[in-house]
């Protein structure tokens, strides 16, 4: 399946522009072929976009809420209408299997925006009376949205649509690794007839364009999704102008299987979650914690399940796992696999050997007998690598689950649902699924500890893009 032709230009003040100078190639990770390019934006390009957004802010903020809602609804209609193109583009530039791209990558963003609009209609932005005060929510101003490559459309939409409906103007910097989806989104927004400057987009790298946006004195808020390392830098740069910084960062999420759980089901669901999107998900359940006396049973089940994930062409409906997004990412994942072997973990499936043929593929890998202090139990790998850790009792499981710098997501499996919920309450993570519960695009998404701060989705994500004002009479 070939990706559609999309605009790969900047979008500033209502117009597409190629900018000047160098360009960045976009590579299909399954074929290693160049499929497009985008301009390598500069600090000057970022400045032009920010100034356009700043000029448009006062008028957009004063636009009646009903009109802003209508505009965002037009954007969401465009996402629905072009779902096929969006899915094909994500397959081509990220390597996401088409089944996952079609059912998740392009469905979640529509659901996220539907949820935001429903919260607005339910009064999320309405004034509240507190004693002799009227508390109002107002837009922050110019929002810089800096997004990653792994869920390109979802992460862009989760920032852009709530920011816009709240009355902010936006400058988007999509990942230079997977920017073609952003080109389609920009075209959809352009077709929705928002006033010039309300939405802007600048391509380029984080150290150049991202840094310029985070430092810009006219940017009032940065909403960033990416690695914890890059998030620290965004926070530090943003602090110079005391702007609001919302961060959704890395994870090393634990799946805790209690002693009364259906072990086979828990292993199957955890492995599927770990391997989703080719293992490239910040909230993936990458650590499977099982009772020590059932470790070998869990390891055998996980290895058998992993054998069904055969790397293949992501454009085929039958493919369950595609490539890493780039050669650098593949090499990073393989490096972690080698580290797991060196540190004494039991390799039960997969391994570091290359997959024959073109593409940046990694063998889906399962490790057993993993200790909490091993590198593969502590570091975010961002690839199809599952680590199985034995524990002695419930308290030990909770200690191990909470024993990393991260706190984005977690899972608990148990026959006694109330007990499982009690364990979920003790896990230091922003969202916890009990017995494989479904993902909810209206519930708050974000992390504890070095997984970030702030929340996205639904009412909570909408509120992130507002300032509170108290008016006393």
The set of catalytic residues is: 248, 282
Q: Where are the beta strands (DSSP E) in 21-110?
A: 23-28, 33-39
Separation of alpha carbons 264 and 377, rounded Å: 22
**Residue in 50, 22, 57 with CA at minimum distance from that of residue 37:** 22
Give the list of residues 6+ apart from residue 466 with CB closer than 8 angstroms, or none.
Answer: 125, 137, 138, 139, 140, 166
Side-chain half-sphere exposure of 87, counting CA atoms within 13 A: 23
**Residue in 118, 111, 103, 92 with CA at minimum distance from that of residue 34:** 92
Give the list of residues 6+ apart from residue 168 with CB closer than 8 angstroms, or none.
Answer: 57, 60, 61, 139, 140, 141, 142, 143, 220, 221, 465
Separation of alpha carbons 183 and 360, rounded Å: 24
**Residue in 401, 396, 433 with CA at minimum distance from that of residue 414:** 433
**Residue in 457, 463, 465, 422 with CA at minimum distance from that of residue 114:** 457
Give the list of residues 6+ apart from residue 292 with CB closer than 8 angstroms, or none.
Answer: 390, 391, 392
Separation of alpha carbons 46 and 8, rounded Å: 16
């Amino acid at each position: 399946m070939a990706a559609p032709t999309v605009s790969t230009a900047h979008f500033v003040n209502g117009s597409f522009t190629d900018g000047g100078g160098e360009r960045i190639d976009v590579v299909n990770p399954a074929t290693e072929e160049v499929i497009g390019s985008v301009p390598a934006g500069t600090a000057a390009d970022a400045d032009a976009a920010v100034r356009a957004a700043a000029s448009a802010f006062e008028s957009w903020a004063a636009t009646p809420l009903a009109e802003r809602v209508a505009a965002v609804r037009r954007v969401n209609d465009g996402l629905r209408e072009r779902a096929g193109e969006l899915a094909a583009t994500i397959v081509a530039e990220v390597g996401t299997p088409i089944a996952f791209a079609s059912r998740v990558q392009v469905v979640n963003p529509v659901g996220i925006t539907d949820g935001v609009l429903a919260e607005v209609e339910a009064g999320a932005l309405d004034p509240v009376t507190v004693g002799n005060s009227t508390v109002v929510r107002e837009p922050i101003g110019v929002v810089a949205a800096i997004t990653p490559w792994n869920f390109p459309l979802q992460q862009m939409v989760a920032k852009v649509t709530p920011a816009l409906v709240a009355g902010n103007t936006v400058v988007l910097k999509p990942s230079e690794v997977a920017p073609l989806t952003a080109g389609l989104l920009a075209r959809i927004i352009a077709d929705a007839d928002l006033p010039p400057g309300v939405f802007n987009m600048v391509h380029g790298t984080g150290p150049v364009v991202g840094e310029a946006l985070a430092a810009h004195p006219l940017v009032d808020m940065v909403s960033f999704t990416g690695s914890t390392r890059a998030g620290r830098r965004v926070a530090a740069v943003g602090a110079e102008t005391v702007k609001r910084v919302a961060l959704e960062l890395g994870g090393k999420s634990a799946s805790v299987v209690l002693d009364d759980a259906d072990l086979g089901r828990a292993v199957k669901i955890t492995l599927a979650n770990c391997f989703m999107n080719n293992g490239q998900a910040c909230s993936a359940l990458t650590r499977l914690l099982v009772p020590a006396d059932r470790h070998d049973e869990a390891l055998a089940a996980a290895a058998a399940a992993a054998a069904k994930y055969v790397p293949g062409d992501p454009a085929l409906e039958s493919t369950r796992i595609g490539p890493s997004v780039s050669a650098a990412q593949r090499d990073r994942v393989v490096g972690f696999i080698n580290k797991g072997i060196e540190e004494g973990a039991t390799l039960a499936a997969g391994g570091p050997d290359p997959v024959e043929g073109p593409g940046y593929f990694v063998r889906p890998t399962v490790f057993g007998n993993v200790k909490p202090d091993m590198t593969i139990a502590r570091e975010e790998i961002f690839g199809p690598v599952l680590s199985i850790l034995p524990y002695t009792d419930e308290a030990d499981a909770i200690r191990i689950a909470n024993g990393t710098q991260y706190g984005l997501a977690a899972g608990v499996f148990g026959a006694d649902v109330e007990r499982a919920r009690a364990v979920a309450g003790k896990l230091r993570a922003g969202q916890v699924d009990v017995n494989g519960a479904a993902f909810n695009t209206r519930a708050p998404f974000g992390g504890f500890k070095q997984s970030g701060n702030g929340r996205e989705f639904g009412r909570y994500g909408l509120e992130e893009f507002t300032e509170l004002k108290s008016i006393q009479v």
